[in-house]
Amino acid sequence: MTESTRGPLAGVRILDFTQFLSGPYGTQILGDLGAEVIKIESPAGDLSRSVAPNFVRGDSVYFHTINRNKRSLAVNLKAEGAVELVRTLLDQSDIVMENFRPGVLHRLGISRKKEMERNPALIWCSITGFGQDGPARNLPAYDMVVQAASGAMSLTGEEGGRPLRTGVPVGDLAAGLNAVIGVLAALEKRRSTGVGDYIDVSMLDCLVSMLNYQASYYLHSGTLPGPQGTGHDSVPTYRTFTCGDGQDVVTTANTERMWADMATVLGHEELVTDPRFATNTDRLKNKEALWAVIEPAFLAHPAAEWVRKFNELSIPAALVKSVPDALVDPQVVHREMVVHLDDGQGSSVSVPGNPIKFESAIREGHIFPPRLGADGSDVLRAAGLDDAAIDRLVDAGVVVPGWRSE
């Protein structure tokens, strides 16, 4: 399916050298918002195309999840003539996004500094594991490595247990999101100055920033935080409880009004006037005694009934859902957070949608994730090359003619 409604980034062209997750996640957001995203791939393709175990149309569902609304051009950057081709595309682009290790593109003959001197309006964003400078700049990194190195992994898991990786790849996704924020800020700066900028996004930096109050608590008190389990370091009624049907429910009663209503709903009004639980500070100090009373109370009803009772009193609460249950939740469906991509040739895949909603519709459809190099001919023609020039690039091994297999 092709784009039928232009978004707020219509007219912005992005040259996307990213692969795997962090960068493609970011460029997909920009593509969802209307930018033209030209995905530059090696002749072997983005590594995520081959991630097991699920495949559609020969490419991994992993790849399809983060590469809609893009076009693919397969270029052998080591071939003679490839650098000149890339420069032609750079001259016609607004933004470059890449997630190579520092220095890789330079060794291939593409100097970020020189290209930005040639095209001062160019915005260039690099995503790496550890940033462009510092003692760890050249180290390899994937999401789990950065979760470990940032301290985030030490906060995940059952209280007193071993650290665990979060089920959601927060290091990659945080880097992609911060890259998007950076390039949008640079676009706004360029609007008034005419000059682009360079954005250096480190996955480690992103996760250290997301330590948030846990880092501040430690820096202030010197107390070492550990795995958080299903609770909260500051609010003892902000945690999960097991209910009568064996299901878990989350409650986040973090105000005095919510606490009083929670105690009443649980049938323990006496807790509200108990001096041990008079304030949140008191409740935190005496949390074990508090839990000894309210944990058994949750066993009186099934989880869904507790959620209903709490929500009727505006106490935030929710069932701890499985992924399948979450994806068919009426609110998720209503917000179109599962989108169905169809290539118009018998292949389809369902993936998470775009959480950014505009009052004016952005799209009535999405471009199916591209086959490797499938858009090369169109991209090169738009760059001003005629058919003879394109054929010469193909014959020289600079460009892989993926469009010929369409």
Q: In what order do the strands lie in the sheet with 317-319?
A: 238-242, 248-252, 317-319
323-to-157, 167, 331 alpha-carbon distances in Å: 19, 11, 14
Q: Is residue 215 part of a domain?
A: no
**Is the distance from CB of 406 to CB of 371 less than 8 angstroms?**
yes
User: Do 58 and 102 sit in the same domain of this protein?
Assistant: yes
Looking up residue 260, the CATH number of its domain turns out to be 3.30.1540.10
Hey, which residues does 198 pair with through a beta bridge?
124
Q: For residues 53 and 154, state if they share a domain.
A: yes
The residue range of the domain holding 272 is 238-242+248-319
Regions of the chain where pLDDT drops below 50:
1-4
284 and 351 part of one domain: no
Q: For the chain, what is the domain count? A: 2
**Amino acid making up residue 233:** D
- Shared domain for 198 and 88, answered yes or no, is yes
**175 and 301 assigned to the same domain:** no
What CATH number does the domain containing 357 carry? 3.40.50.10540
Cross-strand partners of 38? 15, 71
- Please spell the DSSP secondary structure of 207-255, one letter per residue: HHHHTHHHHHHHHHH-PPP---TTS-SS-TTEEEEE-TTS-EEEEE--S
On whether residue 261 sits in a domain, the answer given is: yes
**Catalytic residue positions?**
172
Strands 123-128 and 95-98: parallel
pLDDT of residue 360: 83
Do 112 and 198 contact (CB within 8 A), yes or no?
Answer: yes
- On the 0-12 / 13-18 / 19+ scale of CB atoms within 10 A, 359 is exposed
Q: How far is CA 325 from CA 101, 158, 309, in A?
A: 39, 23, 21
As a residue count, the chain comes to 406
Beta partners for residue 73, in sequence order: 40
Q: 340 with 312, same domain?
A: no
> Which of these three, 274, 297, 319, is where a domain ends?
319
Last residue of a domain, one of 293, 319, 345: 319
Task: Specify whether 310 is located in the same domain as 165.
Answer: no
Whether omega before 53 lies within 30 degrees of 0, making that bond cis, reads yes
Give how far Cα 85 sits from Cα of 88, 202, 241, Å. 5, 29, 59
The pLDDT assigned to 109 comes to 95
Together in a domain, 191 and 65: yes
Are 140 and 60 within one domain? yes
Whether residues 291 and 396 share a domain: the answer is no
- Residue 225 domain-assigned? no
Closest CA to 243 of 216, 266, 276: 266
230 inside domain: no
pTM of the shown model = 0.95
Query: Are 111 and 150 within one domain?
Result: yes
Considering the domain architecture, whether residues 139 and 266 belong to the same structural domain is answered as no
Q: Quick check: is 339 in a domain?
A: yes
User: Does 220 map to a domain?
Assistant: no
pLDDT, residue 406, reads: 65
pLDDT of residue 367: 95
Contact 384, 97 (CB under 8 A): no
Q: Domain boundary residue among 288, 319, 350?
A: 319
